[in-house]
Structure 1
């Protein structure tokens, strides 16, 4: 079977070469135009970011949202931002990581705003539930056992002034025990006012029934509080001021140490006449 072939004329070949050359020139022009456009756009953005209109120049341009216990001024000081500062050069991830390491901070986010230039810090604080003393000084403890030094808070905070539970001798190694102990104290039928942890081999509670010796913290601590709840009517049989302490170190055999019964003064004998 024969295959027919058609030869192109010189003029046709010349026209095709001209068309290909035109296409290459146009493509080269497009690439050059695209390069200058992108370079100009990048340069403009760099120039805009370097202008003062994209800077935060005062602490008031750092908006604080969600804070309830820490003051806005305190949070701004913890950020340690030097002013003026380019909004785009601020390392928000580093600032976020820095604040999240602080004891009173539970969670937060940091966002930039362009018009007007602002930095917004949305914060979720930890909730203190007890006033605490430790080797670190005075402070507060949250339900998770995080110790928060009092220096983070304003002395005018009403929420902190209303705390009634106290812990004496709290240390970081008690954190996981406290996470279990706190819900037990909160749900206790007998009001607990203070936890004395200075001697971990004998945790002492101050309750509405008086001093309670509990021994070391163990998973059976809840049983001791149940026994304490059964002693609710103790004050109706024995005056609270006579109770030296309640011993629950062995919840199977609780005991009560009492002050001696005061001896009533004898009445003077009546004089007799002979």
Structure 2
């Protein structure tokens, strides 16, 4: 056996021993990683189930930002099975649930560990008109979102000084509402009621009396402009003689008068 053959055999032996050592090391590393993962998982499960981190009832849910909705009503809108770890609460899902409710525009939820608590900050829609529809009695915000009155525990104040009522509002009128509401606010003639109960004749109740506009159209702005030019009408025609103002054709406005009462026959 030559020296080169002896050196090669020794080298192969050392390589085999090195490989066996590396395999044993990898095996131990795998065992340690598994044990560490089990320990970490167990620790996390223990932490999650720690009694001090449990939401046990609604009193641990803090509500902020609400002005019109009661705290109790907002808590009732949540679907939470108690007790629940503060870490297990699906805050994103809870926020989405609340944001689907008509009175609520935005929701932000934070967790607190000690003491266990979640804080729900809400931004409410501001009703600008009282309204009736086939769905019942409620309110409208500036975007035409219908808010049933049942969400509130009492009659609520409107967001504007102008006390406006809408009759016969339905979902198909929402895009029209977005268009006409700013025009109503800017009208020099005060408008106190919008009546949509007859789709073929939109009726306004104003300080000059009842106004018939016909079906809603892109002439609404012009119709209000014509109405503004009629502000001196009460000085020319006694208000008690006026049945309604006909602005269905704003180019030819008309004043419809009540019939003259027949004189009583002399006895």
Q: CA deviation at 1:184?
A: 1.2
Matching of residue 179 in structure 1 with residue 210 in structure 2: no
Instruction: Tell me: CA distance 1:156–1:215, structure 2 relative to 1, closer, same or farther (3 Å).
Output: closer
Q: Deviations over 1:7-40 (max 9, x none)?
A: 7265555445434433333332222212211110
Instruction: Tell me: CA distance 1:126–1:6, structure 2 relative to 1, closer, same or farther (3 Å).
Output: farther
Are the equivalent residues in 2 in contact too, given 1:131–1:163 (CA < 8 A)? Answer: no
Q: CA deviation at 1:209?
A: 0.9
2:214 corresponds to which residue? 215
1:117 corresponds to which residue? 116
Normalised by the length of structure 1, the TM-score is: 0.84
Question: C-alpha separation between the residues in 1 aligned to 2:243 and 2:203?
Answer: 12
Within a 5 Å distance, the mapping from 1:74-85 to structure 2 comes to 74-85=73-84
Question: C-alpha separation between the residues in 2 aligned to 1:9 and 1:255?
Answer: 117
Question: C-alpha separation between the residues in 1 aligned to 2:166 and 2:156?
Answer: 19
Root-mean-square deviation over aligned CA pairs: 2.6
Are the equivalent residues in 2 in contact too, given 1:209–1:232 (CA < 8 A)? Answer: yes
Matched residues, number? 260
Q: Deviations over 1:146-201 (max 9, x none)?
A: 11111111316445796610011112221111111111111112110011111111
Question: C-alpha separation between the residues in 2 aligned to 1:57 and 1:161?
Answer: 41
Are the equivalent residues in 2 in contact too, given 1:214–1:247 (CA < 8 A)? Answer: yes
Matching of residue 91 in structure 1 with residue 90 in structure 2: yes
Q: Which stretch of structure 1 is more off in the superposition, 210-219 or 240-249?
A: 240-249
Q: What secondary structure is seen at the aligned counterpart in 1 of 2:77?
A: helix
Instruction: Tell me: CA distance 1:163–1:8, structure 2 relative to 1, closer, same or farther (3 Å).
Output: farther
Q: Deviations over 1:32-77 (max 9, x none)?
A: 2122111101111112212322211121211212222111111001
Question: C-alpha separation between the residues in 1 aligned to 2:198 and 2:259?
Answer: 27
Question: C-alpha separation between the residues in 1 aligned to 2:220 and 2:17?
Answer: 95
Q: Which stretch of structure 1 is more off in the superposition, 232-241 or 182-191?
A: 232-241
Q: CA deviation at 1:251?
A: 0.5
Are the equivalent residues in 1 in contact too, given 2:246–2:255 (CA < 8 A)? Answer: yes
Question: C-alpha separation between the residues in 1 aligned to 2:114 and 2:9?
Answer: 65
Instruction: Tell me: CA distance 1:212–1:172, structure 2 relative to 1, closer, same or farther (3 Å).
Output: same
Instruction: Tell me: CA distance 1:159–1:167, structure 2 relative to 1, closer, same or farther (3 Å).
Output: closer
Q: CA deviation at 1:204?
A: 0.9
Instruction: Tell me: CA distance 1:203–1:47, structure 2 relative to 1, closer, same or farther (3 Å).
Output: same
Are the equivalent residues in 1 in contact too, given 2:191–2:206 (CA < 8 A)? Answer: yes
Question: C-alpha separation between the residues in 2 aligned to 1:213 and 1:116?
Answer: 61
Instruction: Tell me: CA distance 1:158–1:249, structure 2 relative to 1, closer, same or farther (3 Å).
Output: closer
1:55 corresponds to which residue? 54
Are the equivalent residues in 1 in contact too, given 2:128–2:160 (CA < 8 A)? Answer: no
Structure 1 residue runs without a partner (length 5+): 265-274
Instruction: Tell me: CA distance 1:159–1:202, structure 2 relative to 1, closer, same or farther (3 Å).
Output: closer
